[in-house]
Amino acid sequence: MLGYEEKLERMELIDAVCDAGRLARCLDQLLESLAHADQLDPLDVEGILALRSISEICAERIGDAARILEAQNEVLYAEERANAKPCGNQ
């Protein structure tokens, strides 16, 4: 059974994963804005494409991590609820 502090730590970890996902999406939006504003010279394009690729990979991995954590929490909370229910046959 999870203790209160452990539950808080898991929730904070999920929040951090979500924040990292938002950061990756914001980076992608910033790169697109710079490209549309014609503020990039041809030498920057290669770097921008590399950053976008890294951003997309990070966003995917962050999303996977968040789904795993949320699924683990669901299982742990379901186990806690099952263990906390009084038996009706007693």
How is 16-53 classified by DSSP, letter by letter? HHHHHHHHHHHHHHHHHHHHHTT---HHHHHHHHHHHH
What is the per-residue pLDDT across 58-70, written as a single tens digit (0 to 9) for each? Answer: 778 877 887 888 8
Q: What is the pTM of this model?
A: 0.55
Give the tens place of pLDDT for each residue, 9-40: 777 877 777 777 787 778 778 777 877 777 66
Average pLDDT of every residue of the chain: 76
